[in-house]
Amino acid sequence: MQVEGGCHCGVSRYKARGTPQHVSVCHCDDCRRCSGAPFVSWAAFSSTDFESSGDIKAYASSTHAVRHFCARCGTGLYYVNEEALPGLVDIQTCTLDNPEALAPQLHVQAAEQLGWTLGLEDLPKFDRFPG
């Protein structure tokens, strides 16, 4: 499998090959704050099968975690943590050109999950907007 993705402005891009070691949805507070979203979906590929280009900056979001984002538009792209995930690059799957390509297999850090996310599928749903 090969996947490609990139940021909103198009300057920063990445490619990964192989089978992801896991595809997960993370509910931790660090993911929430860094993304501004209730949770983040991730797919972990071997760092030897990963390459990126463009204008990418790194931010140490905790002692061992380094989050990489486009310096022009701010889109979060991938995460490296040699302590917790040695040899892996965790890609934010909603930045894939085809975000449907890698469906999550599990939830992680559910201890920090926002309670209201449990009921999202039960809310009224509109193809665009109500009215």
Binding-site ranges for Zn ion (CB under 5 A): 7, 9, 11-12, 26, 28, 31, 70, 72-73
Tell me the residue ranges of DSSP E strands in 71-119. 76-80, 88-92, 106-108
> HSE on the CB side for 89, CA within 13 Å?
18
Q: How many CB atoms lie within 10 A of CB 116?
A: 9
Minimal distance, residue 36 CB to Zn ion, in Å: 13
Q: Which is nearer to Zn ion, 50 or 67 (CB)?
A: 67
Nearer to Zn ion (CB atom), residue 16 or residue 76: 76
Taking the complex as a whole, the smallest distance from the CB of residue 76 to Zn ion amounts, in Å, to: 10
Q: Minimum Å distance from CB 70 to Zn ion?
A: 3
Greatest pairwise CA separation for the chain in angstroms: 50
Region of 119 (left: φ > 0; alpha: ψ -120 to 50; beta: rest) is alpha
The minimum distance between CB 122 and Zn ion, in angstroms, equals 24
Coil, helix or strand for 53? strand
Residue 29 or residue 48: which is nearer to Zn ion going by CB?
A: 29
